[in-house]
Structures are given as C-alpha cells and as structure tokens.
Amino acid sequence: MSHTIERIHAHEILDSRGNPTVDVTVMLSDGTVASASVPSGASTGVHEALELRDGDHKRYGGKGVLKAVKNVNSLIAAALLGMDATKQRDIDARMIELDGTKNKSKLGANAILGVSLAVAHAAAKSKKMPLYRYLRQAFEIPFTQYKLPTPTMNILNGGAHSGWILDFQEFMVVPQQKTFRERVRCGAEIFHALGGLLKKKGFTTTVGDEGGYSVPLPKNEDAFKLVMKAISLTPYTPGKDVMLAMDPATSEIYDPKAKKYTLKVDGVKKTSGQMIEMWKQWMKKYPIVSLEDGLAEDDWEGWEKLTAELGEKVALVGDDLFVTNVERLREGIERGVGNAILIKVNQIGSLSETVAAIQLAQQNGYRVSVSHRSGETPDTTIADLAVAVNAEYIKTGSLSRSERLAKYNRLMEIEEELQAAGK
C-alpha cells in the first residue's frame, strides 16, 4: 500500500489563549487524511526555535500566522509532495534543509512542526496503528514494554501564566498511584479540594493559562502551604500517595548583568547560591521530587552547583536550559548539569529532532518529561509521544480546561488499550 504524500494544507486556528496557531492536514495517496496543530508558549526560552508570527498589528495584535501557513501551503508542500509519509526522518530533514537557518526562522518552527506532526498522524492512520506504536516503529525505539508516564499536575499558577501574582510559575502535585487512571483521580480530587479551600478563604477560583488556580498570596512559599492543606482534606498522604513538584521558571526573573534573581512577591533579590539554599530549605519542609528550571537558562555555573548539591535528591529538569535541543543537552551532559529534560515539540520544531533529544537524554541517564505549552490545542500528540518513548513524566497542566484534559483522557485511553492487549 502506498503512503505517498498527495496533499498538504495548512490554515490558521486559535489556541487556548485565543491566539492564532497553525493547523495542518495531510492526505496520502491511499486516501488517508490526518491533521495536527501546533502549541505556543508564553514563558519561552531565548534558545528556542522561532515561532513565525506575521507582525501585522492590525490583525490579532501582530500574532497572526498567515506567513507560516503560506510557507506550508507553498514551499513545504512543493518540497514534500510525492515523498513517503513513513519516512519521518527524511521528511523532517527535507524541511530543515529547505529552511536552512539554525532556529527555523525562514519557514517558522510552527510551520515545520505542524507538517511534521500531521505526517506522523497520517502514516500511523494509514498503517492502522495507534500513534504511540507507530512512533516506536518509525524511530526504532528499542523498548519492549510500554509504561505510562507519571503526571506532574500544575494546580497553582504564577509567573507569566498568571499575571505575575506569584514569582514562580507552577506548583504541582505528582500522584504516585499504580495506574494512570488513579493518578488522574488523585490529581482531580486534590484540585477540587484546593478549589473548595480557596473559596472558604475568600479567594476567587480563577484559573491561569494551564488550568491551575490563580490567586495572589503574601509569599511564594504560601502556595505550597495551601497545596499541603488541600491534600490534607483528601484521603491522600503527602510523601506517600502524592509528591510535589515546581517550575519556578527562573529565567523570567533573572538579571544576567547583576547575576541576581528578583522575587518581587517576597521583596528580595537572591544570588544563585541563595536560590539553591532556598530550594534546599523547601525540600526539607515539603515532599518535592522535581524542580524544573531551578536556575536561569544561561546560569551554567549556578546549575553546576545546583546539580552537585541536589542532583542525588530530586529530578532537576532543564526546560529553558535545554530547549529540547541536542546541542544544548550535550553541553549540559558534558558539564554535569541537571538530571532530567523537559521535552516540548515546538521548542525544536520537528518530531525527528524531538526524538533525537529524548534518546540522547536516555542514553545518558537523564529522565524525560514530555510537556505541553501554555498556549495549547486539543491535539494529543504529546500523550502518544510520552508512551512511545517510555517517558518518566508528562506535564500537561491542571485538571481543568479541555485542551489539558484531552491529553489526560488520551493517556487513560492508551492505558486501557495496553491492558486489553496484555502489554
């Protein structure tokens, strides 16, 4: 059966923040049709691939993506028509070559990624395989068993995702139950307990971009105090049934000239060493198992110290630090920095490059967390990707907002499928 690409078409849709993004449909010669859409970040690292925006302020405040759409429908389509959709690496390499820039600034990472994901969906559908199985086959991923990732669920928002009411971006719960379905239940029950607690305290239960509650608090640490109180209102025991995680997104609050981190809510500025001491103190008080971007993206010396002092105790996840980029990750490995990587497909801009970063991480003992973005769509590709590569974690927001829940629902579906097949 032929899997030849016969048609590629992109158009502009809106993401979960109401901003334009790219949606791509691919049709194969056997009649298979599949689509994929591209997420968008708000708290973005400076080393990420370029998300091409129109810059026309008369339309969507300059955030339109018609340029990226045009690039798909003209340049990319012309280059890929007639290619075999099952040759994912060849297709991605052709687009990267066509772009010719280091950060995909010519065609746009959003244009390239949309096509990359849609092609994978079409190939999987044509082969009558679920995407996670197809990806394992397409990229010759050697695992013989499947495992479901542990969710890190953002239930309190701050930073760029919540109008800076807190300095730190995400306060998360990490359920420890045996099945993914029960982990989702645990997170949902804690989330609703937290909502009830906030109402009793007179807070509005507004949610941020990723579905976590967005409430102004006197101190950043008060977020974890609230979460711990919410857990106490459920049947779950902190440190046993559920752990904690956080993403302070420190690149957003770092002054590279002064080499200081500004915590406006707490009214202090801290050096890298002082930030590390604060994390150590918090870890003594709370069952924190994962710290993402505990220091800024280019604070390499700080990261070296952070890893030396905490690397044996918690997952030190590099997001802005590594940006799903093999070169950045390789430098981190050489410098002994971090012990886990956050994977965001749009940080690098193609499925093949994403998998390459995952495999390099795994080969060097780094844990993998597959992540959404703050600007999401109902697309569930990352759920299948996490299962395909046996990622330790998935990070896809809180237990509200349908674009987040779509990923959790897809993972529960996959779990049932694997259980039925005895795998």
245 with 191, same domain: the answer is yes
Catalytic residues, which ones? Answer: 210, 344
Strand partners, 342: 369
83 with 219, same domain: the answer is no
* Average pLDDT estimate for 189-193: 98
Is position 140 within any domain?
A: no
Instruction: Please state which of the ranges 58-67, 107-116, 158-167 shows the lowest mean pLDDT.
Output: 158-167
286 with 350, same domain: the answer is yes
What one-letter code names the amino acid at 401? R
Encode pLDDT of 34-45 as tens digits.
999 999 976 566
38 with 166, same domain: the answer is no
164 with 265, same domain: the answer is yes
Per the structure block, which two tokens stand in for 279? 């994390």
What is the per-residue pLDDT for 164?
82
For the chain, the average pLDDT equals 96
Strand partners, 247: 170
CATH label of the domain that carries residue 72: 3.30.390.10
Residues whose CB falls within 8 Å of the CB of residue 244, separated by 6 or more in sequence, listed in order: 171, 172, 173, 174, 224, 227, 238, 286, 287, 288, 289
Is position 198 within any domain?
A: yes
End-of-domain residue from the set 97, 128, 159: 128
End-of-domain residue from the set 93, 128, 163: 128
Per the structure block, which two tokens stand in for 416? 């049932």
165 with 263, same domain: the answer is yes
pTM value is 0.96
Is position 145 within any domain?
A: no
Is position 141 within any domain?
A: no
pLDDT of 327 over the 90 cut: yes
Sheet containing 5-14: order of strands: 5-14, 20-28, 33-37
Percent above pLDDT 70 for the chain = 99
Domain count, the chain: 2
Is position 134 within any domain?
A: no
Three-state SS across the chain? Answer: CCCEEEEEEEEEEECCCCCEEEEEEEEECCCCEEEEECCECCCCCCCCCCCCCCCCCCCHHHCCCHHHHHHHHHHHHHHHCCCECCCHHHHHHHHHHHHCCCCCCCCCHHHHHHHHHHHHHHHHHHCCCCHHHHHHHHCCCCCCCCCCCEECEEEEECHHHCCCCCCCCEEEEEECCCCHHHHHHHHHHHHHHHHHHHHHCCCCCCECCCCCECCCCCCCCHHHHHHHHHHHCCCCCECCCEEEEEECCHHHHEECCCCEEEECCCCEEECHHHHHHHHHHHHHHCCEEEEECCCCCCCHHHHHHHHHHHCCCCEEEECCCCCCCHHHHHHHHHHCCCCEEEECHHHHCCHHHHHHHHHHHHHCCCEEEEECCCECCCCCHHHHHHHHCCCCEEECCCCCCHHHHHHHHHHHHHHHHHHHHCC
pLDDT of 1 over the 70 cut: no
**Alpha carbon 405 to its chain's center:** 14
Range of the domain at 103: 5-128
Is position 139 within any domain?
A: no
Read off the pLDDT band of 65 (50, 70, 90). very high
End-of-domain residue from the set 71, 94, 128: 128
Encode pLDDT of 171-188 as tens digits.
999 999 999 999 999 999
What is the per-residue pLDDT for 161?
66
54 with 168, same domain: the answer is no
CATH label of the domain that carries residue 267: 3.20.20.120
59 with 203, same domain: the answer is no
Is position 399 within any domain?
A: yes
177 with 291, same domain: the answer is yes
How far apart CA 423 and CA 419 sit, in angstroms, is 6
266 with 345, same domain: the answer is yes
Encode pLDDT of 358-383 as tens digits.
999 999 999 999 999 999 999 999 99
Is position 136 within any domain?
A: no
What is the per-residue pLDDT for 110?
97
What is the per-residue pLDDT for 337?
98
As a dihedral over the C-alpha atoms of residue 230, residue 231, residue 234, residue 240, rounded to 10 degrees, the angle is 180
215 with 362, same domain: the answer is yes
187 with 332, same domain: the answer is yes
Residues whose CB falls within 8 Å of the CB of residue 381, separated by 6 or more in sequence, listed in order: 36, 117, 120, 121, 131, 345
Residue with the two structure tokens 């608090």: 217
